[in-house]
Every structure is written in structure tokens, then in C-alpha cells.
Amino acid sequence: MSNIERELAPHEGKKVLLTANYIYLNKVCVCLLKYLLVVKHASGVYIAVDRPYMYTSRLLAKQGVPQDHLFYLDAVSNISSEKFEKAGNAELLDGPFCSYILEEALAKLTNGGGRLDNVDFVFLDNLTVMLSYMDEKCLYGFLRQFVIKLSKEGRMLTLTMVDKAAHPNVYKAAKENCDVEIEIKGDWLKT
């Protein structure tokens, strides 16, 4: 069991804030998704706001991680220069510029009768990058609504990634809205 798995295991059903240096965020995302999908056999939603979902999907495929129980809610592919065919397990939003677009899409997918009604986890890949698209006040409002809605749904796990050194105010707001913080150390990711 890896350090990440060991730290995450006791926090099922909680709102988890993951902190890591930005240079490790993608590797952390892949490690966590591999753990949740392969070890826990969980189903979930991965919200891509940092990089197009295909980037993470390709990394998971290279490691042999099945993605049939993972749905991508992608807020950046339509504004990126990379072009690809959309997979059946992905929803491409017009962009993360307005948090309500992301909130509405997530609610439509996960609430009673939505196609992802029974997901076990929701994972937002990088909260701080959203500051590129909205001001701090809007981001904090989104964070509160995101966490409140998901905790009411009784999800197994709500994961939010933040580089606390890069944006201390975002980190503070995220920490106030989560049950537990797990700080990912760089040496945990060495293989």
C-alpha cells in the first residue's frame, strides 16, 4: 500500500483536501484514480479544470487502469488547442469561466435520475487553477456550493486538489470546507 493509499483509506465518506506542490498534481491525480478505481472498485466523476481530460485518461490507460467506472466532466478541452474525439464517458463543458456551468452540469449528472446517480467519489483536479477564470469571491462561493451539495449526496469521497503555497487564500477557504487535509509529499510519488 502506498503512502497516498494509507493516508486516504481512513477517510471514506469525507470531504478531503489534498495539498501538493503543483509539479506533482498530475501524478497525484493518476495515483489516486488508480487507487479508487482498481483497489477500491469505486465509480466516480473526475472534474478536469487544469488540463483536458484526455491527458489523464491516456496516463491511466498506459498504466492499465480501466476507466469504465470513471466519468469525466471536462471544463477545459473546448478552450484548449488540443483536438480529439470525445469519449462516451466524458462531458465537455463550454469552459470553467462561470462556476454555475460546472455546478449545474455536476448536479444534472449526479442527482436523482442523473446518469451518475450512484457515484462513489467526485474528484476536482485543481481548485487553484480556477482563479484563471474567476475571481476569488466567485471561487469561494463555488467551493462552498460544491462541497455542500456533494456532502448532502453522501458521496464516499470528495477530493479537491490545491497547491497551498501558490494560493494561501484558496487553501484556507478549501480547508474550511473540508473534513480532513492530506498533504502529499514529493517522495511519496517516486517509483
What tens digit of pLDDT does each residue of 38-70 get?
Answer: 999 998 888 888 888 899 999 999 999 999 999
Higher pLDDT, 160 or 149: 160
Q: What is the 3-state secondary structure (H, E, C) of 53-74?
A: HHHHHHHHHHCCCCCCCEEEEE
pLDDT the model gives residue 4: 76
Span 66-116, pLDDT tens digits: 999 999 988 777 666 666 666 788 877 775 555 666 667 766 666 655 655
Residue 158 belongs to what domain range?
A: 3-189
Length of the chain: 191
pLDDT the model gives residue 97: 55
**Count: domains in the chain:** 1
Q: Are 89 and 124 in contact (CB under 8 A)?
A: no
Q: Are 106 and 45 in contact (CB under 8 A)?
A: yes
pLDDT the model gives residue 41: 93
Helices and strands counted in the chain (H then E):
6, 7
> What φ, ψ does residue 92 adopt, rounded to 5°?
-100, 120
pLDDT the model gives residue 114: 62
d(CA 150, CA 109): 12
pLDDT the model gives residue 56: 93
pLDDT the model gives residue 75: 79
Element (H, E) at 104: helix 99-110
> What φ, ψ does residue 59 adopt, rounded to 5°?
-65, -40
Residue of 55, 123, 128 lying closest to 96 (CA atoms): 128
Task: Of 21-30, 112-121, 153-162, give the range with the top mean pLDDT.
Answer: 21-30
Task: Of 117-121, 126-130, 171-175, give the range with the top mean pLDDT.
Answer: 171-175
Q: Are 72 and 98 in contact (CB under 8 A)?
A: no
CATH of the domain at 39: 3.40.50.300
Q: Which three cell numbers stand for residue 137?
A: 469571491
**Site of grid cell 497525484:** 28
